[in-house]
Structure 1
């Protein structure tokens, strides 16, 4: 018995755009949609399976019988099967039964489903992304928050392990419960954005969400699509931006997923040298197939439009762009020019960036996780670039962590690991990441990467954070690092929030809060963060003392700050050359007792109007051990004080 009727949401123009790789709103067409035919309500289904012999809809409404509800192939050669089934309602479970050219029956979940069941061979769930948003104010002004001239300090978190149910730690919190805890915490800590590790549906918890099966579905582990929307809405209503991890690089081989979707290599590249990822044992999208490009760019648009995401952090871009990524000689095929660049992947990324920026303008931002020196990633596509808004600064991260592992006695031999980034920091628009990747797989937590005993470890990490938050570029810190989580990140449990009863952890958290406040509220730290005008070395070569001094400068001539790092455990009296008209005041010292430091004051004890190291005058101050100090230029204040003194 067959109650499927002919029905379509596709126009001829839709089909043309789909086949050209230029349809960017396929979620309005494919999948399951509430519809009505001849006055009878039901559901319209459509799926792309060009090499299938037969396609039907199976589900809990027909006892998973593949003979009852057969879809119709379109006449236009698009490979789309579609039809209308009367009487179905929200919550219906379904899959597509696809008979391959060889007669095999595959049971596939809907690539465009908005919800999935929560089990290994999960079925799709007929649902909706309707939600009454209350973030109009944020959406109207968010372009000011995502511009390169705004502070961007990101708190990266994994929803399943940031905080668990207090009564039953084995249970996840719902998205709405997370909102009650997360929103006030981010406000308190003064991060500008959160970044959620993938929240698209995935079957395998240890993948952390990076092995996605339901690209259009918010994972049901933590609730419904509307529950996730509530979380994002609450963040927006509290002036907090939301960045989502997006994974267009690969997908797992689960039987109900995209792999061999219609019995052929449809979404993945048929050649394993391009289509199989040796590290992750997953499948790589065929970026040269137009319909796949339409699928992926539509997916990006979906999260930006339906879920009001403010940005997408694109995972594993390095693996996408390099044909020889994680492959030995002979395991990859050069491109037509004999090089190792995947030209189809590069073109796809250019088209993705062009499309989303055309649609949303500068209200959103795209961020590449890319670890090589691939050129012009954040340059405009029309100038030959790839078009990303930002790129993770992986070289800075590796050099910095390597330096802070060293015994201070030996740091003079590695001094320029901390200055090297200034040689290339304006080649791209960089975000400095201390991400989840640095605190897993035996790498140890961030605090235990630092050298020394407990006091030295915390002092080193406090100094590192001063360096990070005052360095040019956007910031990203993984959850738990803000208070010195001692265990490696474990996706199976909550962070160790109980550590905050200890002064060293509480003090570190307070420092991160104060650094966020400084970064967000002082224009010199963000106005020119991607421009050479915003940075100047004062002392880059004091190898023997392991002292670094630099200026951060805003657009106003008098808007400047001096940052001093003393990365030895000695207290040092230090002389610094400054301009004659400048006067300085210490506004932050990471060794302060409020941060659980030793309490050594960073006092300016001498000011001399005589030339010193090419500068017109000098100041002298004592530098606390293993500390970062921030000084603010206070010319106007000092001038007023001198005038008052003259009158007296």
Structure 2
């Protein structure tokens, strides 16, 4: 029931979490005990194979969240003291224990550890026909101190004695094996350190990943929402942060991850609208908190989608601003399943704002399907006005215009455009079908004018309402 929703939105891949067997539900699938076993909580191995076949039939690639960075410390269920010692698969003593995760750390220098983990890579590709992996905890693997509470500020941090050379070699081998088994396999590194070469080929001395997660982006959005009113946001800082990456390595951009959706944290929508979401998400309701939150949710996601990477990731339900959190049965919540779900019915109800947010996400994905902007490296700033809260840039042939001012709308706003052509609005965050106020008509055509501006020979004049954004396409 969920896969058709994902395909209909325009996504082309699914990342599956918590597939490998883990004894504690509340670990969210990251304390693995049986690396070659499908978690019995969700079904049988044959049912997983059928799910992957259905996904493939819908044109979706399926990626496994692969946890080779650590293992559960349980003796009865896991590999701990499998031969009676603490060092058959793991480092002995303190080096083999991850203090932050309460789990055990593999000794990647041992051939049998390499054989065990590499065969695990091959197993999931061949036996279940997964299309690739998101490698969990790569930063922890790369450094002896696991990158804990560390700020990476110079190349010395990446290439000094703190780097675990055995882990580097293992990751290179794992990527070689994955791509040898399936040349089309996609591998993604969860690395927050920014080590150069993570997403470069092994033949160049890189680790061999196809992509790395742009992990600083969701952290930045949360920090911004916590510490500043949107009236005080510095647009140049936002633009620079979203582009702060090595363009010789492909990145997966995302505005929020599963971490924000889990119990104890808040998603972007819940952080901006909180308890108002329980009462005022109906289209007929008028709440300044909801109006602001819905508008910024779309603008934040459009900014991230168009600037933060060469691919885009969304955690299920966040596309329509799912309220509340995800939680699994555990002792602290009385073994409750109440929050171990997503309320898809919210997105299906046309009387609710969730429906509009869902429709916006679908329209945003369609931009990439039609114009292939995510693989276009041409990104240029066209205009930036901190005082009036306007940001305009291009990616590929498209122009993205944002007005973050909370109250001021701008009529006949002149902006430079890269091509001597008329421009049509192909996406407008303020359109009523997207939960907007409808202050500017969708599909508006802006005629090009031979008025130079900011180094461009031509410009157009647009109407850009407060807290809204438009995407413009040149008309041939």
**TM-score bucket (shorter structure):** 0.7 to 0.9
Change (3 A) 1:415 1:450: farther
SS at match of 1:453: helix
Distance in 1 (alpha carbons) for counterparts of 2:271 and 2:236: 18
Residue segments in structure 1 that go unaligned for 5+ positions in a row: 1-180, 554-559, 637-648
SS at match of 1:291: helix
Counterpart selection for 1:220 from 32, 40, 65: 40
Change (3 A) 1:614 1:421: same
Distance in 2 (alpha carbons) for counterparts of 1:338 and 1:463: 40
Asked if 1:517 is matched to 2:366, the reply is yes
CA contact (8 A) 1:604 1:619 kept: no
CA contact (8 A) 1:279 1:326 kept: no
SS at match of 2:401: strand
CA contact (8 A) 2:14 2:62 kept: yes
Change (3 A) 1:446 1:327: closer
What is residue 624 of structure 1 aligned with on the other side? 465
What is residue 595 of structure 1 aligned with on the other side? 434
Change (3 A) 1:220 1:401: same
- 1:439-450 correspondence to structure 2 within 5 Å: 439-450=261-272
How far residue 607 of structure 1 moved from its aligned partner, in angstroms, is 4.2
- 1:381-396 correspondence to structure 2 within 5 Å: 381-396=202-217
Asked if 1:202 is matched to 2:49, the reply is no
Change (3 A) 1:272 1:618: same
CA contact (8 A) 1:604 1:620 kept: no
What is residue 182 of structure 2 aligned with on the other side? 360
Asked if 1:571 is matched to 2:381, the reply is no
- 1:278-317 correspondence to structure 2 within 5 Å: 278-317=99-138
How far residue 384 of structure 1 moved from its aligned partner, in angstroms, is 1.4
Residues 58-100 of structure 1 show CA distances to partners (whole Å, capped at 9, x for unaligned) of: xxxxxxxxxxxxxxxxxxxxxxxxxxxxxxxxxxxxxxxxxxx
Distance in 2 (alpha carbons) for counterparts of 1:547 and 1:581: 22
Distance in 2 (alpha carbons) for counterparts of 1:211 and 1:389: 25
CA contact (8 A) 1:399 1:418 kept: no
Counterpart selection for 1:613 from 439, 454, 463: 454
Asked if 1:341 is matched to 2:126, the reply is no
CA contact (8 A) 1:242 1:309 kept: yes
What is residue 538 of structure 1 aligned with on the other side? 382
How far residue 358 of structure 1 moved from its aligned partner, in angstroms, is 2.3
CA contact (8 A) 1:507 1:595 kept: yes
Farther off after superposition, 611-620 or 284-293: 611-620
CA contact (8 A) 1:317 1:370 kept: yes
Counterpart selection for 1:398 from 198, 219, 232: 219
Change (3 A) 1:338 1:589: closer
Counterpart selection for 1:322 from 143, 146, 160: 143
What is residue 482 of structure 1 aligned with on the other side? 319
Distance in 2 (alpha carbons) for counterparts of 1:591 and 1:328: 41
How many residues were matched structurally?
435
Residues 446-487 of structure 1 show CA distances to partners (whole Å, capped at 9, x for unaligned) of: 202337711100110011122222224201100110111110
How far residue 572 of structure 1 moved from its aligned partner, in angstroms, is 1.8
Counterpart selection for 1:526 from 374, 379, 385: 374
Distance in 1 (alpha carbons) for counterparts of 2:191 and 2:392: 29
SS at match of 1:409: helix
Residue segments in structure 2 that go unaligned for 5+ positions in a row: 151-155, 274-287, 329-336
What is residue 342 of structure 2 aligned with on the other side? 495
Larger strand percent: 1
Counterpart selection for 1:548 from 391, 394, 397: 391
SS at match of 1:486: coil
Q: Which has the larger radius of gyration?
A: 1
How far residue 503 of structure 1 moved from its aligned partner, in angstroms, is 2.3
Asked if 1:429 is matched to 2:250, the reply is yes
Change (3 A) 1:605 1:432: closer
CA contact (8 A) 1:469 1:519 kept: no
Asked if 1:457 is matched to 2:303, the reply is no
SS at match of 2:41: helix
Asked if 1:504 is matched to 2:348, the reply is no
Change (3 A) 1:338 1:390: closer
What is residue 556 of structure 1 aligned with on the other side? none
CA contact (8 A) 2:422 2:445 kept: no
CA contact (8 A) 1:459 1:626 kept: yes
Asked if 1:186 is matched to 2:6, the reply is yes
Q: What is the TM-score with the length of structure 1 in the denominator? A: 0.64
Distance in 2 (alpha carbons) for counterparts of 1:588 and 1:579: 18
How far residue 301 of structure 1 moved from its aligned partner, in angstroms, is 0.8
Change (3 A) 1:338 1:508: closer
How far residue 397 of structure 1 moved from its aligned partner, in angstroms, is 2.5
